[in-house]
Chains A and B, each alone.
Chain A
Amino acid sequence: MATAHTGVPTLELRDVAKSFGAVVALESGSIRAEAGSIHALVGENGAGKSTLVKIVAGVHRRDSGELLLDGESVDFGSTAESKARGIAVIYQEPTLFPDLSVTENIFMGRQPTGAGRRIDRSAMYAETEGLFERLGVHIDPRRLARGLSIADQQIIEIAKAISLDARVLIMDEPTAALSGVEVDRLFAVARSLRDEGRALIFISHRFDEVFELCDTITVLRDGSYIDTLKTADTNVDEIVALMVGREVGDLFPKTPAPVGQAVLQVEGLSSRGVFHDVSFEVRAGEIVGLAGLVGAGRSEIARAVFGVDGYDSGTVSLAGRVVPGGNPRAAIKAGMAFVPEDRRKQGLVTEASVAHNVAGVIRSGLSKAGLLTQKAESQAAGPWAGRLEVKTSALDMNAATMSGGNQQKVVIAKWLATNPKLLIIDEPTRGIDVGTKAEVHRLLSELANDGMAILMISSELPEVLGMADRVLVVCEGRITADIPRAEATPENVMRAATDTLEAQR
C-alpha cells in the first residue's frame, strides 16, 4: 500500500484507529513522512485528517495501530511528550498570548535563565532575531503578539518549532486565511525547512497549493487510507476522484445567464482608512467576483454595502433606490442578503436549532397577530433546508455539531428564504469539502440564471475565475481593475491585486 521506498521514514502511521463513543473518527489511518520531503494529506471534511494529526500531536491516544518515529514505536500521552520527541503542529489559527512579546511567545515555558535564575532577555531576543533571519522574515522580536496578522502568527509558531528543533512539522490548513504573498512566504519557509532535512506534512483543501508545494500526496476518505501518490505522477482530477470516491464532475459549473438591469449600484463609497471612492454595479443574472489580497478591503466593502459597518461618504442603491447606510435591516428590506465570511461567528447562532437559524431573517413575516410559534418557524424553514439538502435528522437539532459545509448550507438557506434581489456571499466555500463546494457553485449558477444578482468575494483565484462573469480587483481599498470573464487570467488578476501604484493614485 505505501510507496516502495528504501530507508526508514521519520514518521510513520500504520492502520491507526480512533473512535469517540460510537463515532469512528479514524478507521485505518496510514502515512509515511520522509525526512527532506513535504507530504500532503488530503481528504474531505470528516475524512479523519484532523484526528490523525491530533493523534500524532498527542492530543488523542490511538485505539489501535502503530505510530513509529524513526522506526521506533512510540505512544504519546500528552502534547508535551509529542513536542519533546520533535513533533510540532501549526494550526490554522495559532494560539499565541496576545499580551506577550513575540519572543516571550516563542520561549513560553522554557525561558533561558542567567545568573540567579533570572530570565536572560537579551539571549532570548538574540536567538529570536537569528530565527527570523533564518526564516527570512522581518518581525520585531520585541513587539507584542497582539495585532499580528495570522500569517505572522504562523511564522511565530514555526519559529517556535524550529527553536525546539522539531524534526516533523505538521501544518493543518495553514493557508486558509492567508493572501497570495503570505502564502508564497510560507512556502519559501517550508521549502527551506525541507532542505534542512525535516519532514513536513501539509494539509490543505487547495489543490493548486498541494501540487505546487508537495512531493507526495496521501489521500484519506471516510477515516481510511486510500492511496499515496507522487505529485509528479498524478493530477487534480485523479486526487479529487480518490477523495470523493466518485467523479465530482465540474467544480465550477458556471452557465452563461442572461444579464438584465443593474440591481446594485455603488457610487463613490469611502470609509476613512479602509476603502476609497469605490464605484461598481452588479446586474441581474450576473455573478461579480470581488478579488484581491486578504486585507485589501474586499470584505469591508461588502460589509459597508450591507450596512453592518457604516461608511463616510458615497451611496448604495438597490434597484434604483438609495439604501440608507449603517443599517442591515434597511438593506434586508431593500432586498439584500449577506452570507458572511465567518459562519460560526457571524453567520449562525450555532447554539440554536436549524429551524431557528433558517427562519432567522424572515421570522417577522411568520408571526400572526404579533405571535410567532416554533411550528410556523419549522414549516417555513423545512422547504429551504430541503432545497439545500442540509443534513440533519430534525429541524430542532443544534447547528453547533454540524460540519462546515452543512453549516454553510444553513446560512445560505436562511438568506435565500428572504427571496433577495442581491446576494452578497463572502468566501462561499472556505473550509468546506469538495463535494459541497461543487454543490454551492452549482447553486450560485442556478440563482444567477433565475435573475439574482450575486456579489461573490473569494480568496481562491480558481473560484473567482471559474464562477464570475466579471472580476473586480481590490487593492489597498480601491478597485484597480474590472475584468470581464473572457479576459480574466490568474496573471492579470494578481497584477491588479498588487497594483499599489494604481491604488495610491
Chain B
Amino acid sequence: MSREYAPYSQPLWRRLLLTREWAVIALLAVVVLYSLANVRNFDGPLTLTFLLLDTAPILLIALPMTLVIVTGEIDLSVASIVGLSSVLLGVLHEAGLSIPVAGLLAILAGVACGAFNGFLVAYVGLPSLAVTIGTLALFRGLAVGLLGTKAITDFPDSWKDLATATIGDTGVPVVMILFVVLALLFTLLLQFTTFGRGIYDTGLNPEAAHFTGVNVERTKFILFVLSGAVSALAGVYYTLRFGSARGDNAVGLELQVIAAVLLGGVSIFGGRGKLHGVIAGVLLIGVISSALRLESVQVSYTNVIIGLLLVASVMSPSVLAWVSGKTARRNKRGPGPQSAPVGVGTQGR
C-alpha cells in the first residue's frame, strides 16, 4: 500500500562533486598548480610554512563563524576578541602567570565576550549585526585601554618557538594539528549531529524550527560562545607567533574571515554552507596573497584581486541561474517575459 522512495535523486559522485564547495576546492587546486609552475620560489620550503602560519588565525575563526552565519547571524567582534585575548595574555603573563594559565584565562575571557554577544542576540533578540558592531568597538576599547599603545614582548622563547615550529621537515606548522582537530570537531557538530541540523533549520526558517522543538535561542547562544572562545584561542596563538601582545593586534581580521567564509559557499542569508568549502576559501585567499607577494605585487592590488574574486563568487549563483534560464528559454519554443518557472502544483498567490 505504501510507496517506496529512492533516498537520493542524484548518484553519489554528483552529490559530492557537483557542489559549490567543490568548485572552490577545484579553483584552489588550479591556483596552486598554476603558482607552482609559474611563480618563482612558490615551491620553496618556506612558502607553505608562512602561508599556513599567516592564515592559521583566519582558519581557526572561520570554523565557528561559518556556524554563526549558517544560523543567519554574524559576529563582527571576533578580531576585537583576538586583540583583547592578546592583551590579557601579555598582562597576565607579565603579572607572573605561566603561559598555559594566562592563555586559559584569556580564552575564558573570550567565552565571556561570546556569552555577552550571544545573550544580547539570542535572548534579548537584538540583531547580531548591530550588537557585534557595538562589541567590536567595546572589546577593542577594553584591549587598548588595558595596555595603552605599548606592547608586551617578553614571552618565553620555548612558547614562541612552538607557535612557529613545523612538524618534522614537512614544513607544516604545529598549529595545524590544533586546527585539524578543531575542524573535525566543528564538521561533526555541523554535519552529523541533531544540533547541527538545528543550525541549518534556524538559518532557513527560525519559526518552523521553533515549532519543531529546536531550541533556537540556545543554539545561537552556544555558537556565539564558541566564536568567542575560538577567537580568544586564535588571539593566544597570534600573540605567541609574533611574540607581541598589543591592543591593536588583528585589527580588521573579521572582514578577512567573513570574506573567506562567503567565498567558501556559505550564504550570508543563512541556512546554506559547509566547512570544507570554507576551509578551501580561506586557503584560496592565502595562496593568492602568497603568490602575489612572491611576485612582488603591491598589497593594494592583492586586495583588489581578492575583492573581485569575492564579488564574483557571491554573484555566481545568480549568474548561473540567469544563464541556465536563458538556455532553457532558447531551447523551448516561444518567448516568455517571465524567467521564473512557476510551479504548477503550488498554491497560487
List residues of chain A with CB under 8 Å of any chain B CB. Answer: 19-25, 45-46, 48-51, 53-54, 59-61, 63, 77-78, 91-93, 172-173, 203, 308, 328-329, 332, 338, 340, 345-352, 355-356, 360-361, 363-364, 367, 370-375, 378-379, 382-383, 385-387, 389-390, 392-397, 401-404, 406, 414, 431
Contacts of B349 in A (CB 8 A): 50, 91-93
Contact A59 B192, CB 8 Å, known A53-B348, A308-B210: no
Of the candidates A352, A383, A406, the one whose C-beta lies within 8 Å of that of B204 is: A352
Contacts of B309 in A (CB 8 A): none
Q: Which of B15, B197, B215, B342 contacts A25 (CB 8 A)?
A: B342
In the complex, whether B7 has a CB less than 8 A from a CB of chain A is yes
Contacts of A50 in B (CB 8 A): 342, 347-349
CA–CA, A228 to B94, complex, Å? Answer: 90
Pair B200/A352 contact, Cβ less than 8 Å: yes
Residue of B nearest to A332 (CB): B213
Listed in ascending order, the chain B residues whose CB lies under 8 Å from chain A are 2-10, 15, 188, 192-194, 196-197, 200-201, 204-205, 207-213, 215, 271-272, 328, 332, 334, 336-338, 341-349
| Chain A residues closer than 8 Å to B200, beta-carbon distance | 349, 352, 356
A386 touches B3 (CB 8 A): yes
A22-B332, A53-B348, A403-B346 given as contacts; is B5 within 8 A of A386 (CB)?
Answer: yes
- Cβ–Cβ contact A389 & B7, under 8 A: no
Which one, A46, A49, A349, contacts B345 given CB within 8 A? A46
Residue of A92, A361, A390 near B212 (CB, 8 A) is A361
Task: Report A59 CB to chain B, min CB distance, Å.
Answer: 7
The answer to whether B192 and A373 touch across the interface, beta carbons within 8 angstroms, is yes
Distance from A406 Cβ to chain B, minimum over Cβ atoms (Å): 7
User: Which residues of B sit under 8 angstroms from A63, Cβ to Cβ?
Assistant: 334
The residue in chain B whose Cβ has the minimal distance to the Cβ of A364 is B194
- Chain B residues positioned under 8 Å from A364 (CB to CB): 194
Given A329-B213, A363-B194: A431 in contact with B207 (beta carbons within 8 A):
no
A21-B341, A61-B337 known; A355 and B7 CB under 8 Å?
yes
Residues of A within 8 A of B211 (CB): 308, 328, 338, 340, 346-347
Interface centre among B7, B200, B205 (most CB of A within 10 A): B7
* Contact between chains at A361 and B213 (CB < 8 Å): yes
Please report the C-alpha to C-alpha distance between residue A53 and residue B347 in the assembled complex, in whole angstroms.
13
Least CB separation from B215: chain A residue: A329
Provide a sorted-by-A list of 15 A–B residue pairs whose CB atoms are within 8 angstroms: A20-B342, A49-B348, A53-B348, A172-B348, A345-B207, A347-B208, A351-B205, A351-B272, A352-B201, A361-B213, A364-B194, A382-B4, A396-B8, A402-B345, A406-B345
**Chain B residue with Cβ nearest A347:** B208
Q: Assess whether A372 is in contact with B194, with CB atoms less than 8 Å apart.
A: yes
Which residues from chain B contact A77 at a C-beta distance below 8 Å?
337
The answer to whether A346 and B207 touch across the interface, beta carbons within 8 angstroms, is: yes
CA–CA, A387 to B338, complex, Å? 37
Nearest-Cβ distance from residue A160 to partner chain B, whole angstroms: 18
Q: Are B194 and A351 in contact (CB under 8 A)?
A: no
Contact residues in B for A363 (Cβ distance below 8 Å): 194, 197
B84: min CB distance to chain A, Å: 33
**Chain B, Cβ-Cβ closest to A333:** B213
Known: A348-B205, A349-B209, A385-B5. A60 touches B336 (CB 8 A): yes
Residues of A near B272 (CB, < 8 A) are: 351
Provide the bound-state CA to CA distance between A60 and B193, in Å: 45
Contact B338 A59 (CB under 8 A): yes
Contacts of B208 in A (CB 8 A): 345-349
A91–B349 Cα gap in the complex (Å)? 7
A-side contacts of B336, CB under 8 Å = 20, 60-61
Task: Report the bound CA distance from A25 to B338 in whole Å.
Answer: 14
In the docked arrangement, what's the CA distance between A194 and B315, Å? 50
A-B residue pairs, 7 tightest by C-beta: A50-B348, A403-B345, A386-B2, A394-B9, A378-B7, A46-B345, A20-B341
In the complex, what's the smallest C-beta–C-beta distance from B210 to chain A, in angstroms?
A: 6
Q: Which residues of A contact B194 (CB under 8 A)?
A: 363-364, 367, 372
Nearest residue (CB) in B for A24 is B344
Given known A-B contacts A46-B344, A372-B197, A360 and B9 have beta carbons under 8 A apart: no
Q: Nearest residue in B to A403 (C-beta to C-beta)?
A: B345
- Evaluate contact between B6 and A372: CB separation under 8 angstroms: no
Which chain A positions have C-beta within 8 A of B3? 385-386, 389-390
Contacts of A403 in B (CB 8 A): 343, 345-347
Is A394 a contact of B345 with CB atoms below 8 Å? Answer: no
The answer to whether B347 touches A395 (Cβ under 8 A) is: no
Residues of A within 8 A of B10 (CB): 396
- Known contacts A23-B341, A349-B204: does B2 contact A371 (CB below 8 Å)? no
Q: Closest approach, in angstroms, between the C-beta of A332 and any C-beta of chain B?
A: 5
Residue from the list B7, B332, B334 in contact with A396, Cβ < 8 A? B7
Bound form: Cα–Cα A268–B25 in Å? 60
The interface residues of chain A lying within 8 Å CB-to-CB of B209 are 349
Given known A21-B328, A77-B337, contact A389–B188 (CB-CB < 8 A): no
Task: Indicate if the CB atoms of A386 and B4 lie closer than 8 Å.
Answer: yes
B347 touches A431 (CB 8 A): yes
Partner of B192, one of A21, A355, A371, A404: A371
B212: chain A residues at CB < 8 Å are: 328, 360-361, 414
CB distance from B86 to the nearest CB of A (A): 34
Distance of A351 from chain B, by nearest CB (Å): 5
What residues of chain A lie closer than 8 Å to B341, measured between beta carbons? 20-21, 23
B9 pairs with A393, CB closer than 8 A? yes
Q: List residues of chain A with CB within 8 A of the CB of B2.
A: 383, 386-387, 389
Q: Contact between A21 and B213 (Cβ–Cβ < 8 Å)?
A: no
Taking each of B196, B200, B207, B345, which has the highest tally of chain A beta carbons within 10 Å of its own beta carbon?
B345
Complex alpha-carbon distance, A329 and B211, angstroms: 9
Complex: chain B residue closest to A376, CB-CB: B192
**Complex contact A382–B7 (CB within 8 A):** yes
Within the assembled complex, what's the spacing in Å between the Cα atoms of A26 and B342? 12
Contacts A347-B211, A403-B345 known; list 12 others, CB within 8 Å.
A20-B341, A23-B344, A50-B342, A92-B349, A93-B349, A348-B205, A367-B194, A386-B2, A390-B3, A394-B7, A403-B347, A404-B345
- Bound together, the chains give a CA A355 to CA B334 distance in angstroms of 37
Chain A residues, Cβ within 8 Å of B188:
371
- Residue on B nearest A377 in the bound complex, by CB: B197
Q: Kindly list chain B residues whose C-beta atoms are within 8 Å of the C-beta of A49.
A: 348
Q: A351-B271, A372-B193 are in contact. Are A25 and B337 (CB under 8 A)?
A: no
* B210: A residues at CB distance < 8 A: 308, 328
Q: Considering the complex, give the chain B residue whose CB is closest to the CB of A330.
A: B213
Residues on B with C-beta less than 8 A from A367 are: 193-194
B193 to chain A, nearest CB (A): 6
Minimal beta-carbon separation of A343 from chain B (angstroms):
9
Q: Give bound CA distance, A403 to B328, whole Å.
A: 23
The distance in angstroms between the C-alpha atoms of A460 and B72, with both chains bound, is: 37
CB-nearest residue of chain B to A92: B349
Q: A25-B342, A378-B7, A396-B7 are in contact. Are A349 and B201 (CB under 8 A)?
A: yes
Minimum Cβ distance to chain B for residue A134 (Å): 28
- The distance in angstroms between the C-alpha atoms of A390 and B200, with both chains bound, is 23
| Residues in A whose Cβ lies below 8 Å from that of B344 | 20, 23-25, 46, 48, 51
